[in-house]
Structure 1
Amino acid sequence: MSAGIGTARGAALCVGAVLGPGVLVLPAMAVRVAGPASLLAWAALLCVSAQIATSFAALGTRYPDSGGVAAFTRRAFGHRAAAVVGCWLFAAVPAGVVAGAIAGARYTAAALHASARPALVFAAVLLALVYLANLVGLRLSARLQLVLTGVLVGLLVAVVVVAGPRVSLDRITPFAPHGVAGIGSAVAVLFVAICGWEVTANLSAEFTDPRQVRRAAMVSLAIIVVLYTGLAWCTVGVLGGEAGDTMVPLMRLLAPTGRPWAAVVVAVAAVLFTVAASVTFVAAGARAGVSLARHHVLPARLAVTRDGEPRRGVAVQAAAATLVAVAAAAAPRLITVETLMRTFAALLACVTLVGLAAAARLLPTPRQRVNAALAALTVAAVAALSGPFLLAPAAVAIAAGTRRRRTPPPDPPPPRGGSEAGRDAASTLHPRPTAMAARPR
């Protein structure tokens, strides 16, 4: 498939990836561990999000490649590090997508006053929609994402407008009932809220013009900062400590209004948040799988694409998500939404950390390198707060290293007959700086 994403669709994909289903539950989870001081965690992470977004946008503009962070890591640190990073992303997607589907299904079930069993059906339907959207191709899903993102932004604005007048400063006291440790825990929980910038790097090669990567990132960053700030303030100022007692905080924000459409709006928002974010993550994960297969980290059959679309990668991601969903349904007390999101956050924190380290080494200007290095230090601290959830990236790293030792990569084959698939494989195996990269900055 030739590159065909413009600034508007790219921004929609970025917003959809970052402003994902986590927004349905993360504000409540943060209040539960930090109280109103979770606002400090939000402020810190939004500042870090700006650094991450600008660093990955600069990398995507200079080195557009469907391998994303793994491709940047390969340029900076070699094949072994790239294999580990690619596997982290590939393993993170099923956990994150299933967590989002369960969260979205809970909202839908609550709006319809349904029991737990229909909620499982809703989750299965949401997962099916996500993977079907990716099977039809990125171009169509990008158009769909543009529409979904517009609706989502409108819905969140509506929530903030309706809840904003009911904000009370009395609800922000005591401000930090759990102390500094609680704020640290909230940072680790909320990191999921800024995950997604590293995923959009996998789509950098799909843009019509590499310069549009930066434009799309900046537009989406402005939207995300405004919406997250409004939502965090309303959650604390309207619900206070009660926010930590509910898994449907958006519904609680709208419920006291007495408007009959409130529950329906929140249910629709839950579905759209889940689909919008998950479509981008699955697309990035499938493309990471293709790159890993071409470098002999995953089975070679996964590298086969049809019309430029990694449908086999999507199918493997769907199978993995199904296994995670079945395990979560069988052991709901052990495999909770919070457990899946924290695992997802730990994996993506490691991906982001290595990607920022690559940016600090590859970007051309001192200002860009310092920005990336500072962001990397912050993300390293956040990753350390993940505690036992770091066992997930450690296990994936060991498995990736074992796979590479068993099957060392041979010399890359030449492009096959000048076909698009051959050219894409060659560019992934031997990524070369683009004209933009060669131009002095």
Structure 2
Amino acid sequence: MNTEPSLGQRLLRRKPIEQFLAESRSREGDGLRRNISLFQLTMFGVGATIGTGIFFVLAEQVPVAGPAVLVSFLIAGFAAALTALCYAEMSSMIPVAGSSYSYAYATLGEGLAFLVAACLVMEYGVSAAAVAVGWSEYLHNLLLITTGLELPRALLHAPLVAEGYSLHFGGDGLINLPAAVLVFLCCILLMRGSKESARANAIMVIVKLGVLALFIALAMTAYDGQNLTPFAPHGFAGISAAAGSIFFTFVGLDAVSTAGEEVENPRRNLPRAILMALVIVLTFYLLVALFALGAQPQFMFEGQEAGLAVILQNVTGSAIPSVILSAGAVISVFSVTLVVLYGQTRVLFAMSRDGMLPKIFSRVNPRTKAPAANTVIVATAVAAIAAFMPSAVLWDLTSMGTLIAFTVVSAGVIILRYRRPDAPRGFTVPLFPLLPILSIVSCLYLISSLSSIVFKLTAVWAVLAALLYVTYSSRNSALERGDQAGMDPAE
């Protein structure tokens, strides 16, 4: 006679690694398709990362940290590098859709896995919305330079503003219409399938890197070391606060691992793509930030929309480089939104396949092999956030979701080294357990630097996620429905 498991048993039950792999193999004919190459996967990581921040974040964070924002990038990059190593090991062990959610399910239990999934959903959804908001600024700047057309502010800005501990109406807009349009354009491309999306993203990333290389070369000609003084006008508190916010710009590292079921030779290519993307991203971040700071006084960054394009126009005295940069940003930031939306749909796909969400999220179009209904639902929700929420809150919320996910992955590496030392690994973190522990400490430190309103909004989101888990997900889980092999705490 089967007895219903208690809430504690449901929270702690784990899904064996072998079950993840067996399910992935059994669905290869009618599920997701493995057709993403190493190069395309690396471009996924770069595409989801460069543009998420560097095109927009300097205007927000230079006023917070001054030129010492360079140190903030290094701190965030150091934490991201430690976590990238942990992601490389976990993704080579469990090369399936779902990223941190799947890793937590195999190591820490169903309850915490669901909480991590909620953070991932917040991370990806909010990140896509934040980038879409920044994209509308560059689109408006491009239209203004090339045609003289100025869109009404009511259609470019959200009606909500963040002040202190609350969100309230009072913004100077009604809706950010271009941001919402961008999200639905990405939705259309994603519904065509992962291979087409990966190919389009790779092209856009190459355009993006070329545009940023042009910026570096031109801004270098106007470099003035005096613009970097005072270097840290707000002290280490400013550096720390900026580092916590900047960390969201490394969300692309997690996006790589969401493609675990659609990449060729995943045990080899997933860790390689993560590490290669990190090196490319950090190099471009530091060079762009350094020469942007050297090209204009720090006080000019505050409130500067489409900042990199404006800097080039001021440096060269010509609109042509600014037009090129704005056009490149409009094209390439599309890739950020595309990959981040892709990542969110794959997390929801994995949760639905495990019974945590309704089956509509794991329903795959038989022709394109894309989760079409899932993609439309995600795009609708993200478009609404982009249209009505202020960007500053969106960026910090993305950092919170990213940091929680990264912390769990690092903890998972430690747990599986002791629990499953014999499991096949395509990559192993060096200096174990020091580097995973440093990764956890770095992430917790950056979490502590985020604003109070972010903690409040995250707490509300976590409560809603817990209610969903208790009332629906825990009772509809695949493990609940009879796969008791996954309930053995010792695996």
Q: Which residue of 2 aligns with 1:297?
A: 356
* Aligned 1:26-37 pairs, distance under 5 A: 26-37=57-68
User: Taking structure 1 as reference, are residues 121 and 67 closer, same or farther at Cα in structure 2, changes over 3 Å only?
Assistant: closer
Deviations along 1:41-85, one digit per CA (max 9) or x if unpaired, are 112222222222222122111210102110100111011111111
Q: Which residue of 2 aligns with 1:272?
A: 331
User: Taking structure 1 as reference, are residues 291 and 27 closer, same or farther at Cα in structure 2, changes over 3 Å only?
Assistant: same
How far has the Cα of 1:317 moved from its partner?
0.5
* Aligned 1:340-419 pairs, distance under 5 A: 340-363=394-417, 367-388=431-452, 389-407=454-472, 408-409=474-475, 412=478
* Aligned 1:234-245 pairs, distance under 5 A: 234-241=291-298, 242-245=300-303
Residue type of the alignment partner of 1:354: V
Mean Cα deviation higher: 379-388 or 399-408: 399-408
8 A contact 1:126–1:274 mirrored in 2: no
User: Taking structure 1 as reference, are residues 197 and 358 closer, same or farther at Cα in structure 2, changes over 3 Å only?
Assistant: same
Residue type of the alignment partner of 2:384: L
CA distance in 1, matches of 2:476, 2:306: 51
- Structure 2 unaligned spans of 5+: 1-31, 145-149, 157-175, 422-427
8 A contact 1:295–1:409 mirrored in 2: no
Q: Which residue of 1 aligns with 2:259?
A: 203
Q: Which residue of 1 aligns with 2:187?
A: 131
Q: Which residue of 1 aligns with 2:345?
A: 286
Q: Which residue of 2 aligns with 1:58?
A: 89
CA distance in 2, matches of 1:346, 1:45: 13
Deviations along 1:342-392, one digit per CA (max 9) or x if unpaired, are 122222221222222212322555635432221111011111111320223
User: Taking structure 1 as reference, are residues 283 and 430 closer, same or farther at Cα in structure 2, changes over 3 Å only?
Assistant: farther
How far has the Cα of 1:276 moved from its partner?
0.8
In the alignment of these two chains, the number of paired residues is 411
Q: Which residue of 1 aligns with 2:374?
A: 313
How far has the Cα of 1:196 moved from its partner?
2.0
User: Taking structure 1 as reference, are residues 180 and 126 closer, same or farther at Cα in structure 2, changes over 3 Å only?
Assistant: same
How far has the Cα of 1:410 moved from its partner?
5.1
Mean Cα deviation higher: 361-370 or 203-212: 361-370
8 A contact 2:45–2:274 mirrored in 1: yes
* Aligned 1:36-51 pairs, distance under 5 A: 36-51=67-82
Residue type of the alignment partner of 2:471: R
8 A contact 1:198–1:355 mirrored in 2: no
User: Taking structure 1 as reference, are residues 354 and 395 closer, same or farther at Cα in structure 2, changes over 3 Å only?
Assistant: farther
Task: Determine helix, strand or coil for the equivalent of 1:376.
Answer: helix
Q: Which residue of 2 aligns with 1:105?
A: 136
* Greater C-alpha Rg: 2
How far has the Cα of 1:187 moved from its partner?
0.8
Tell me which of 254, 269, 288 is aligned to 1:231.
288
Q: Which residue of 2 aligns with 1:421?
A: none
Tell me which of 154, 157, 166 is aligned to 2:213.
157
**TM superposition score normalised by structure 1:** 0.87
CA distance in 2, matches of 1:17, 1:134: 14
Task: Determine helix, strand or coil for the equivalent of 2:205.
Answer: helix
How far has the Cα of 1:430 moved from its partner?
6.8
- Structure 1 unaligned spans of 5+: 329-334, 414-425, 432-441
User: Taking structure 1 as reference, are residues 412 and 111 closer, same or farther at Cα in structure 2, changes over 3 Å only?
Assistant: closer
Residue type of the alignment partner of 2:376: A
Find out whether 1:253 has 2:311 as its counterpart. yes
How far has the Cα of 1:299 moved from its partner?
2.4
Task: Determine helix, strand or coil for the equivalent of 2:296.
Answer: helix
User: Taking structure 1 as reference, are residues 55 and 295 closer, same or farther at Cα in structure 2, changes over 3 Å only?
Assistant: same
8 A contact 1:104–1:273 mirrored in 2: no
User: Taking structure 1 as reference, are residues 404 and 411 closer, same or farther at Cα in structure 2, changes over 3 Å only?
Assistant: closer
Find out whether 1:19 has 2:50 as its counterpart. yes
Between the aligned residues of both structures, percent identity stands at 22
8 A contact 2:256–2:273 mirrored in 1: no
Residue type of the alignment partner of 1:100: V
CA distance in 1, matches of 2:210, 2:269: 24
Q: Which residue of 2 aligns with 1:416?
A: none
Structure in which a larger fraction of residues adopt helix: 1
Mean Cα deviation higher: 73-82 or 197-206: 197-206
8 A contact 1:109–1:118 mirrored in 2: no
Report the RMSD for the aligned CA atoms in angstroms: 2.3
